[in-house]
Structure 1
Amino acid sequence: MLDESLLDTPEALAEADRRALLRGAAEAGARVRTAARHAAEAGVGDLRPDGRPRAILIAGPGAAATCVADLLGTLAGAACPVTRLAPTGVAPAAGALRWELPGWAGSVDLLLIATPDGGEPGLSLLAEQAYRRGCTVVAVAPARTPLAEAAEATHSLFVPMATAPYEQPAPYDQRAPYDRPTQDGDHRGHDDQPPVPAALVPTTPVPTASAPGVLWALLTPLLALLDRIALLSAPPEELERVADRLDQIAERCGPAVATYSNPAKTLAAELADALPVIWTEGTSAGPAGRRFAAALAELAGRPALVAELPEALAAHSTLLAGPLAASADPDDFFRDRVEEAPALHARVVLLRDRPIGGLTAAPAARELVLGHDTPISELEPEPGDALVTLAELIAVTDFAAVYLALASGA
């Protein structure tokens, strides 16, 4: 159940926000500026690329790397294929993942590694494998981590991730004893201490992959890099406009703004007892919708379905006419709303950006939804460049996912 009274009580929201999610959402603009500065200090602006890469490969754990790959692939378009390398299995260390380069990867390809942790042994091994193959490697991760060391050893370009003090994991050289892996997968502390099983090693906190600030900390340096090699347009002034738009959304969607004038709180309240069916229209809206679904799952523990218009009309028409439709349970009106859990009904969330060619399927979508007595929520960004409007859609839905998580006790 959603505690809607909590949404309009900033003090209660702050008390419930033990993961600093609202603070991360509010700091997204500042995170973009810091990450852009880190990229410049790392030498991204001084690169002299010799043509475009044949392909871009992106590796990293969880939703953060998936979203980064999705966004970069959308923004790059047909200029260069962008592929996310999914983990291929587990590594010898307990709980560690393994990544492998495809057989065709070589000296004309670019490997991007993006992680909010930096301690994954599989990513360090991937950087070494890419170095042996002759791939160019660029890594974004917290400083003073094993991946940072591997990047230096393989002459890769390393950009320190813009982290906040409240989400910074302990430096690798200051982690607890037994927190360093040995070749057999166990961990060893000081030389006079025996190894212990890796499963018993205490872990250090790392930022949640779908936390609002993490995405921009990983994405911004890679945007600057791909702008430098002419795969997309993200010059420093464009990144500053993105940061400004994120600051504006933080003001509109902040915890002190009442629900009736706060689009993120309104959306969270509308999704309280609903199955979100996210429909997107426009190039930028697609990755924003998929990001929203990932944030709902990881932050609020809520499932969601995602599809792009116009294909969504055929893909979800039967769903809207089935048992999840708002009119599917005629006895729901007589339900004891104190003793019984509410029935789960679909609610369409339409995220719109500029439709391709100026043609839109939104009227047909509204007609289908209302014809099945299904409620609909719509979000459309203010005018701006593709990257700026994308940032607005992501920011509003990030805030909505956070409010839903806090008010539902996730």
Structure 2
Amino acid sequence: MLDESLLDAPDALARADRRDLLRGAAEAGARVRTAARHATEAGITELKPEGRPRAVLVAGPGTAATGAADLIAALAGASAPVTRIHPTGVAPAPGALRWTLPGWAGSVDLLLIATADGSEPGLALLAEQAYRRGCTVVAVAPLRSPLREAVHGVHGLVVPMASAPHGEYDAETSAAGPGTLWALFTPLLALLDRVGLVTAPAEALQSVADRLDRTAERCGPAVATYSNPAKTLAAELADSLPLIWTEGDAAGPVGRRFAAVLAELSGRPALAAALPEALPAHGGLLAGAFAAGADPDDFFRDRVEDTEPLHARVVLLRDRPTGGLSAAPAARELALGHDTAISELEPEEGSTLESLAELLAVTDFAAVYLALASAPGA
């Protein structure tokens, strides 16, 4: 159950936030600026590549690395194929994970490694394997980490991960924490700008940081729920199964990350799919056991011990449309035809990177509020 009264009690939220998740969300803009500076100091902006890589490979553990790979693929588009190397192993512990280059990877390909830990021996082995194959290797990892020592100056280029402005967060939640994604993603954006796969010059990264700051002001704990888009979304998603429907290049990876972060931070299931495929894929959920009218009130039901059943709620995440074609009207018609409520998020005008940043910030804040207001003892 969500304690909605907690959403408008900043002091109580601060006491419940033992993992500093709200601070991580608020400091995302600062992490972008620090990460951009680290990229410059590491020499990223001075690189003079001879051409574009044939393919980009991305490796790293956790939600942040997965999100970064997804975002890179969306932004690169048709410029180059982007492949995430999925880890294998008997456990998710850093020492147990292993990554293997695909057989076709070679000297014309680029390997990006992103980790908030840096102690994974499997990533050091991957960098060694890539070096032997002739791949260019660029890693983002904590400054004092075994991976940095293994890669720096010998097998590739390492950019120090931007740490939190006021100290590190709980290591167990840092991979899903709001600031970690930007600390890993920003240097990779600067690199991909230099090799011509995305457009992310220094001024664009500054605009992203500014948009994150403005969104944090709108979504912060001191802002009341009625005027706070993140708190409003969190309240709307209470006791629901979010069906996250996305439309637009930037919205797709944001929706998938939102589903992952909801599960990891707040323990809530969610499903993400892109329009228009989301309509047939999730249409059955609107008419089945998760439909708004399912499980009618039973006179003999024990209202003390029984919990309320989950009902589907559509979350529509959209970029501002660039053309006249949109599946949003059909999505609204399908949802409302099944008496299913809809929450909609659409960013303000700006570049693709700014739109992506705003959607990420609002959904990250919403996931944090759900985690805090739903926590036992909250």
**Aligned 1:108-187 pairs, distance under 5 A:** 108-152=108-152, 154-164=154-164, 168=168
Q: Is the 8 A contact 1:35 1:162 kept in 2?
A: yes
What is the alpha-carbon distance in structure 2 between the residues aligned to residue 383 and residue 335 of structure 1? Answer: 49
Q: Is the 8 A contact 2:230 2:363 kept in 1?
A: yes
Q: In the TM superposition, what is the alpha-carbon distance from 1:209 to its structure 2 partner?
A: 1.2
Q: In the TM superposition, what is the alpha-carbon distance from 1:331 to its structure 2 partner?
A: 1.3
Q: In the TM superposition, what is the alpha-carbon distance from 1:133 to its structure 2 partner?
A: 1.1
What is the alpha-carbon distance in structure 2 between the residues aligned to residue 355 and residue 34 of structure 1? Answer: 32
Q: In the TM superposition, what is the alpha-carbon distance from 1:343 to its structure 2 partner?
A: 1.2
Could you say which residue in structure 2 is the equivalent of 1:173? none
Could you say which residue in structure 1 is the equivalent of 2:336? 370
What is the alpha-carbon distance in structure 1 between the residues aligned to residue 368 and residue 193 of structure 2? Answer: 31
Could you say which residue in structure 2 is the equivalent of 1:287? 253
What is the alpha-carbon distance in structure 2 between the residues aligned to residue 66 and residue 83 of structure 1? Answer: 11
Q: Is the 8 A contact 1:117 1:207 kept in 2?
A: no
SS of alignment partner, residue 220 of structure 1: helix
Could you say which residue in structure 1 is the equivalent of 2:324? 358
What is the alpha-carbon distance in structure 1 between the residues aligned to residue 105 and residue 58 of structure 2? Answer: 12
SS of alignment partner, residue 409 of structure 1: coil
In structure 2, the CA distance between the partners of 1:113 and 1:351, relative to structure 1 (3 Å rule), is: same
What is the alpha-carbon distance in structure 2 between the residues aligned to residue 107 and residue 308 of structure 1? Answer: 34
Q: In the TM superposition, what is the alpha-carbon distance from 1:167 to its structure 2 partner?
A: 5.6
Q: Is the 8 A contact 2:128 2:155 kept in 1?
A: no
Equivalent pairs: percent with the same residue? 76
CA RMSD of aligned residues (A): 1.9
What is the alpha-carbon distance in structure 2 between the residues aligned to residue 107 and residue 83 of structure 1? Answer: 16
What is the alpha-carbon distance in structure 2 between the residues aligned to residue 334 and residue 399 of structure 1? Answer: 39
Match among 236, 239, 254 for residue 202 of structure 2 = 236
What is the alpha-carbon distance in structure 1 between the residues aligned to residue 65 and residue 90 of structure 2? Answer: 18
1:216 paired to 2:185: no
Show CA shifts across 1:169-199 (max 9, x none): 8xxxxxxxxxxxxxxxxxxxxxxxxxxxxxx
Q: Is the 8 A contact 2:7 2:225 kept in 1?
A: yes
Q: Is the 8 A contact 2:250 2:355 kept in 1?
A: yes
Could you say which residue in structure 1 is the equivalent of 2:350? 384
What is the alpha-carbon distance in structure 1 between the residues aligned to residue 46 and residue 151 of structure 2? Answer: 18
SS of alignment partner, residue 112 of structure 2: strand
Q: In the TM superposition, what is the alpha-carbon distance from 1:336 to its structure 2 partner?
A: 6.2
SS of alignment partner, residue 162 of structure 1: coil
Could you say which residue in structure 1 is the equivalent of 2:275? 309
1:45 paired to 2:72: no
Show CA shifts across 1:235-290 (max 9, x none): 00000000000000100000000111111001101111000100001111101100
Show CA shifts across 1:286-320 (max 9, x none): 01100100110111011101111111111111110
Q: In the TM superposition, what is the alpha-carbon distance from 1:89 to its structure 2 partner?
A: 2.9
Moved more, 156-165 or 375-384: 156-165
Could you say which residue in structure 2 is the equivalent of 1:60? 60
Structure 1 residues not aligned, in runs of 5+: 170-203
Q: Which amino acid aligns with 2:149?
A: E
Could you say which residue in structure 2 is the equivalent of 1:77? 77
Q: In the TM superposition, what is the alpha-carbon distance from 1:381 to its structure 2 partner?
A: 0.4
Q: In the TM superposition, what is the alpha-carbon distance from 1:356 to its structure 2 partner?
A: 5.4
Show CA shifts across 1:69-117 (max 9, x none): 11001000000000000013359x9852111111111111100000000
What is the alpha-carbon distance in structure 2 between the residues aligned to residue 165 and residue 283 of structure 1? Answer: 31
Show CA shifts across 1:19-49 (max 9, x none): 1000000000011000000000000011010
SS of alignment partner, residue 219 of structure 1: helix
What is the alpha-carbon distance in structure 1 between the residues aligned to residue 220 and residue 300 of structure 2? Answer: 37
1:407 paired to 2:373: yes
Could you say which residue in structure 1 is the equivalent of 2:315? 349
Moved more, 391-400 or 357-366: 357-366
Moved more, 101-110 or 394-403: 101-110
Q: Which amino acid aligns with 2:48?
A: R
SS of alignment partner, residue 89 of structure 1: coil
In structure 2, the CA distance between the partners of 1:332 and 1:402, relative to structure 1 (3 Å rule), is: farther
Could you say which residue in structure 2 is the equivalent of 1:277? 243
Could you say which residue in structure 2 is the equivalent of 1:182? none
Q: In the TM superposition, what is the alpha-carbon distance from 1:118 to its structure 2 partner?
A: 0.4
What is the alpha-carbon distance in structure 2 between the residues aligned to residue 242 and residue 333 of structure 1? Answer: 53
In structure 2, the CA distance between the partners of 1:157 and 1:333, relative to structure 1 (3 Å rule), is: farther
SS of alignment partner, residue 152 of structure 2: helix
1:297 paired to 2:263: yes
Structure 2 residues not aligned, in runs of 5+: none
Larger radius of gyration: 1
